[in-house]
């Protein structure tokens, strides 16, 4: 798949089934995605992978974090995909690279991973929610002090009967400012 095609055809996949990448495949894709921009090569991230029954543990933690009337639904959320890859931001201290750049590097890595998953025939969706800050969720994922949960990549095989139209390519002209003679003369 060409890069432009991958960017234009990758979509967040709501319905995912088996198979998902195994640990070796995930590691290989993550290694490739790690070529994303990362000032200082700090790798300010780590991943917590959940499969099979491990997803129920997260479901229980999400249920405990939510309101009573939504607990049953929250407990089922991790079962929407065969692999949940928890995205953990680990900002590095004592470095000249500011926290925001480290967070941007982590987001760049995640998007590169999504493109690579798509290129290899898997689907994914980056999910967040109210459980991100929950102590029960942090405990279930063995988060360490100073780490921040950014969400989960739900990963699996896209549902075969759910074809989605390509994303429309937006007109971006209104997001571009060109500095030049007209701006210089209006400032005078």
Tens-digit pLDDT profile for residues 48-58: 999 999 999 99
pLDDT surpasses 80 at 11: yes
- pTM of the predicted structure, to 2 decimals: 0.89
Query: Average pLDDT of the chain?
Result: 93
51 is in an annotated binding site: no
pLDDT for the residue numbered 69: 83
pLDDT for the residue numbered 169: 87
Element (H, E) at 158: strand 148-158
Element (H, E) at 62: helix 54-65
**pLDDT tens-digit map of 131-163:** 999 999 999 999 999 999 999 999 999 987 766
Domains of the chain by range and CATH?
3-187 (3.40.109.10)
pLDDT for the residue numbered 130: 83
10 is in an annotated binding site: yes
The answer to whether 77 touches 139, Cβ cutoff 8 Å, is no
**pLDDT tens-digit map of 28-47:** 999 999 999 999 999 999 99
127 is in an annotated binding site: yes
The answer to whether 117 touches 29, Cβ cutoff 8 Å, is yes
pLDDT for the residue numbered 27: 99
Strands 148-158, 16-17: parallel, antiparallel or unpaired by DSSP? antiparallel
Structure tokens at 162: 């759910």
If you average pLDDT over residues 101-121, what whole number do you get? 98
State yes or no: cis peptide before 40, omega within 30 of 0: no
- Residue 183 confidence class, pLDDT cut points 50, 70, 90: low
- Residue 167 confidence class, pLDDT cut points 50, 70, 90: confident
Determine the length of the chain: 188
Name the residue with tokens 């459980």: 131
């Amino acid at each position: 798949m060409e890069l432009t095609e991958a960017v234009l055809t990758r979509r967040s996949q709501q319905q995912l089934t088996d198979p998902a990448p195994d640990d070796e495949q995930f590691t290989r894709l993550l290694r490739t995605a790690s070529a994303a921009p990362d000032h200082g090569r700090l790798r300010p991230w780590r991943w917590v992978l959940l499969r099979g029954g491990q997803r129920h543990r997260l479901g229980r933690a999400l249920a405990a974090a939510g309101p009573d009337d939504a607990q049953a639904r929250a407990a089922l959320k991790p079962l929407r995909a065969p692999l949940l890859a928890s995205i953990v931001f680990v900002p590095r201290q004592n470095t000249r690279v500011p926290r925001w750049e480290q967070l941007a590097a982590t987001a760049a890595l995640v998007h590169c991973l999504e493109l690579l998953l798509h290129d290899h025939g898997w689907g994914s969706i980056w999910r967040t929610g109210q459980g991100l800050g929950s102590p029960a969720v942090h405990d279930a994922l063995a988060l360490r002090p100073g780490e921040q949960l950014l969400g989960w990549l739900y990963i699996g095989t896209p549902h075969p009967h759910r074809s989605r139209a390509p994303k429309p390519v937006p007109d971006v002209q209104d997001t571009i400012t060109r500095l030049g003679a007209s701006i210089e003369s209006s400032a005078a």
